[in-house]
Chain A
Amino acid sequence: MDPILPNLPAPQPPAPAAPSPPPPAEDAGSQALSDALRSSFFIVKIIMVALVLLFLGSGFFTVGPQQQAIVLRLGKPVGQGLQALLNPGFHWAFPSPIDEVIFVTNTTLHTVDSTVGWFQSPEDRAKGTPEPQMGNQLNPATTSYALTADTNIIHVVGALRYHITEPIDFLFNFTNAPFFITNALNNALLFAASQFRVDDILTSNRLAFKEKVTERVNELTDAEHLGIYIDQVDVDASPPLSLRNKFNEVDQAMINRNKLRNDAESYATTTLAKARGDAATETNVAQANRKRVVQMVQAQADTFVKLRGQFERDPAFFERIRQMAVLQQVYSNAQDRIIEPKASELRLQISRAPLEPSTNNYVTMP
C-alpha cells in the first residue's frame, strides 16, 4: 500500500549493533569492525534523511493553467466551499496516503454527444462513415430514432458543450457526471421531439425545437446540482433514410411553389406597369388629338372667314383658282410621275405591304 514502508525498516538492523563499541577493545580486529559499522551506520543515516526528504518532496505538484485542484486530507477536503479550490500554480500537499489531490479541468469546454436518436453511433458519425442503407422497416435494437408529436419517425442528434462552474459539486455529486449529461441530452431530444411535428423539427420551427432541447437539458442538470454551465446545444435532424427522397420532393414542391408565386408577382408588376404606361399614352394621345382637331377646325374657320367674301363674288372662278393651286402642290409633291403617251397601254403592278400584326396582347377580363 505504501511504497515507503518497505524501505523504513531497513535502518533497524544497525540499532542493535550500536551498543557494541563501549567495552574497551584493544585488538585491531574489533577496532576495524567498529569503524566499519560506524561508517555504514552513517551511510544508512544519510539514506534515511534522503528518503524522508524524498517523501516530503513528492508532495509538490503543479496545477495547470486551465485546471483547479482539491486536496483531500485523510479524505476530507481542505478548506470550505470555493476556498477548497487551488488555482493554477505550484503547490504542496502531504504525500499519499495523508493527502490526495484531485484535478478538475474547468475553463475549457467539454463536449458531449447524444447516443440515441440517430441512425449511426456517435463514433461512426465522428469518423464520417457513409450512411447505412435502410429498408422500410427499422429494427429498434439496431437503429435508434425519436418519435414526433404527429407519430412520425425522425432521427435527431445533439451535441452539448458545457464547462464546469462548481468543481466540488461536479466531483462529489456524481460518480459519472459526463454520462449523466449525455443521458440528459438524450432525454431532452426525445422529450422535445415528442411535442413537435416532423416538419417543425426539420424545417419550419427548427429554432423552437432546439430551444426546447436546451431548456430541458438545463432543467435536468440544474435539478441534480451538477455544477456545470451549458454553453451551447446543437441539434440536427433527418427524416428516415428510406423516406429522404419523399421529404426532398416536398422541399422541391415548396421551392416550385415559391418560384410560381415569384413569377406571378413579377408578371403582375410588369403587366400593371405596362397598363399604366398604355393608359397614360391613351389619355395623352386623346389630349393631343383634341388640341389638334380644335386647332385645325379653328384654322379652317379662320380661312373660311377670310375667303368667304371672294367666294361669294364668283364661286366658279374661286374654285378653279383653288383647284389649280392644289394641283400644283400635288404634282410637285408626287414621288414619281408617269406621263402616258396617247392611245397606248400602260400596265402597273400594284403591291401592297402586309399589315403589321397587332402588338396588344392584354388578356382582358370579361
Chain B
Amino acid sequence: MKRNFLTLTVAFILIIICVLLLFVYQVRKSEVAVVTRFGKIDRVKIEPGPGLCWPWPIEKVYKLDQRIQNFEGKFEQFKLPDQNIILLSVYVGYRIDNPTNFFAKFNYGSIPEAEKTLEDMVRNAKNEVAGQHDFSDFVSTDPHRMKFAEIEDEILQKVQKQVHDNKYGLEINFVQIRKIGLPESVTQNVFTRMTSERQYYISKITAQGAEESSKIRSLADSQAAILLSDAEATSFTIRGQGEAEMMKSLEILQQNPSLATFNLQMDALEPFLKKSTLVLDQSSSPLQWLQQGPKGASPSGPVLTTNSTLPDLTPPVTRDP
C-alpha cells in the first residue's frame, strides 16, 4: 500500500507537470501574448507572468516583443522646393501599442510585414515633409533658420497620424535622420566651391599677415623715430643750456680778445699735433742752435705732416721777427 502511494504521488506529479505544460503559458516582461481560439483573437495578456489557455488546437498563444524596436529606412533622394536635391535616410523607433490591432493587421503579428508597411509610410511622410523645406532648413549657421529637429518632428507626426488612423496598433516613438547626402554630381560642384573658398582664405590670410606685419613694423619705426627726435631735442636744449652757462665765462674773455684768441689757438695746437710726424728743417726754430751760434738764427717753421687734413696749418712762427 505504501509503495502504491509513492507510485501514485509520482504519477500525479508527472500528470500535473504535463497538464501545466499544456495549459499554462508564460509572458516575459518584454513581451505581450495574444491568445487565439480556433484562429480568432480571444484575449491579450500584457502583464508579465503565467496565464492559462486551452491546449492546441483549441487555443494558440503568440508572443510579441513589446519593447521599442528600431529600423532604418532606405537612403533616398528628394527634391526640395528650392530645386536642390538631398538624400536622406531615417531610423524609426516603434513599439507594439495595441496587440489586438497589430495582430490583426499584420498576419499573426509579423514584424517584417509591419516594417515593410512602416517603411512605405515613412517614405511618404519624408517626401511630404521634404517637399516643404528648403535646403537651408537642413543646414544653416543661423540657429533660428535651422529646422533639423523640426523636420524630424514633422515626419514623426505624419507617421504617427497615419498609424493611428489605420489602427495598426503601433506607437511610433521617434523618427531621426540617420544619414544625409547630396547627389554625386552635386558633390563635384560643392568641391569646386570649397576649393575656391580655400583659395580665398589662403590669399586673405596671407594678405592679413603682410598687413599686420607691416603695421607693427612701421608703428615701431615711427615710435623709434619719435624717441630719437625727442632725444635730439632734449640734447639740443642741454647744449643750449651749456652755451648759456658758457657765456658768463666768455664775457671775461672778451675783456681782451687778442689774448683770448691766442690762448685758444695755443691750446688747440697741442692736442692736435699729438702723435703726428714732424718733418723739420734743420734751421727751424730750436734746431738752429745745433749748428749755429745764436746770432745767425734764421728760423723757418717746421713742415708738418699729420694724419689729418686740416688745410690751414699756419705754424706759430709767423710772428717771429
Enumerate chain A interface residues (CB-CB to B < 8 A).
1-2, 5, 8-9, 11-12, 15, 18-19, 48, 72, 74-77, 97, 100, 116, 136-141, 144-153, 171-176, 179-180, 183-184, 186-187, 190-191, 193-198, 220, 223-224, 240, 242-243, 246-247, 249-250, 253-254, 256-261, 263-265, 267-269, 271-272, 274-276, 278-280, 282-283, 285-287, 289-291, 293-294, 297-298, 300-301, 303-305, 307-308, 311-312, 315-316, 319-320, 322-324, 326-327, 329-331, 333-342, 346, 348, 350, 352-353, 362-365
Contacts and interface: CB of A to CB of B under 8 A. Distances in A.
Contacts of A12: 11, 14
Contacts of B161: none
B19 interface: no
A144 B179 contact: yes
Given A265-B216, A329-B270, A151 B190 contact: yes
Interface string B149-177: 10000000000000000000000011011
B202 A264 contact: no
Binding site of B, secondary structure by majority: helix, strand, loop or mixed? helix
A277 B253 CA distance: 38
Contact of A184 (B65, B176, B281): B176
A352 B306 CA distance: 10
Interface stretch (B97-105, B115-123, B206-214): B206-214
Given A97-B26, A323-B317, 13 more contacts: A190-B180, A194-B148, A224-B68, A257-B209, A258-B209, A261-B213, A264-B217, A265-B216, A268-B219, A285-B235, A290-B241, A294-B246, A340-B281
B285 interface: yes
Contacts of A301: 249-250, 252-253
A274 B179 CA distance: 62
A195 B191 contact: no
Contact of B194 (A139, A153, A249, A276): A153
Contacts, number: 385
A151 B227 contact: no
Task: Sort A-B residue pairs by CB-CB distance and give the 6 closest, nearest first.
Answer: A290-B242, A286-B235, A257-B209, A279-B231, A268-B220, A275-B224
Nearest to A293: B242
11 contacts: A76-B49, A77-B48, A137-B187, A186-B178, A190-B177, A194-B146, A194-B180, A223-B174, A261-B209, A272-B224, A346-B279
B17 to A, nearest CB: 8
Contacts of B138: 147, 194
A18 B176 CA distance: 71
Given A76-B48, A223-B174, A267-B220, A335 B275 contact: yes
B222 A365 contact: yes
Interface residues of B, number: 133
A136 B194 CA distance: 11
Contact of A250 (B202, B209, B316): B202
Contacts of B188: 136-137
A85 to B, nearest CB: 14
A254 B205 contact: yes
Interface string B39-57: 0000000011110000000
Contacts of B148: 190-191, 194-195
Given A261-B209, A264-B212, A339-B280, A75 B183 contact: no
Contacts of B180: 146-147, 190, 194
Contacts of B174: 220, 223-224
B221 A297 contact: no
B228 A362 contact: yes
B184 A139 contact: yes
B143 interface: yes
A312 B260 CA distance: 12
B245 A335 contact: no
Contacts of B217: 264, 267-268
Given A240-B191, A342-B282, A145 B70 contact: no
Nearest to B221: A363
Nearest to A335: B275
A106 B155 CA distance: 35
Contacts of A340: 279-282, 303
A286 B232 CA distance: 9
Nearest to A168: B29
B277 interface: yes
Interface string B1-31: 0011001001100100100010000111111
B249 A300 contact: yes
Contacts of B255: 304, 308
Nearest to B281: A340
Given A187-B176, A246-B195, A303 B263 contact: yes
B187 A153 contact: yes
Contact of A282 (B26, B190, B231): B231
